[in-house]
């Protein structure tokens, strides 16, 4: 129980900010892509804009991943989540044996 509490409360605010930036970049790219598809826009300008938005999302995602790999708090939370997940899987497989 204490591990679960730690995972839920150990929050890296920088990770949350970067995740929000990444999600927003993806939303903007998706919205613009949908606009281009619906209006059947063609041409270099529309393509360039989609590529620019895709690159912006890719950069945001890379920054998020780099942070997660370098942040001690994020690494700790990831390890704890892995242990919780592993324990849950073991508990489920153990229950199946007795079912």
Residue pLDDT, tens place only, 69-85: 999 999 998 888 877 76
CB contact burial 17-39 (16+ within 10 A = b; e otherwise)? ebbebbeebbeebeebeeebeee
Q: What is the pLDDT of residue 7?
A: 47
The pTM is what? 0.69
| Contact predicate 50/32, CB 8 Å | yes
Q: What is the pLDDT of residue 79?
A: 86
Residues in the chain: 99
Please give the structure tokens belonging to residue 91.
Answer: 């508990």
Flag residues of the chain having pLDDT under 50.
Answer: 1-9, 98-99
């Amino acid at each position: 129980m204490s591990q679960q509490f730690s995972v839920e409360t150990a929050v890296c605010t920088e990770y949350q900010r970067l995740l929000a930036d990444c999600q927003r970049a993806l939303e903007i790219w998706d919205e613009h892509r949908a606009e281009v598809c619906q209006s059947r826009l063609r041409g270099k300008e529309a393509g360039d804009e989609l590529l620019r938005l895709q690159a912006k999302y890719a950069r945001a995602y890379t920054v998020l991943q780099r942070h997660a790999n370098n942040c001690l708090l994020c690494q700790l939370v990831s390890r704890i989540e892995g242990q919780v997940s592993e324990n849950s899987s073991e508990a489920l497989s153990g229950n199946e044996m007795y079912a």
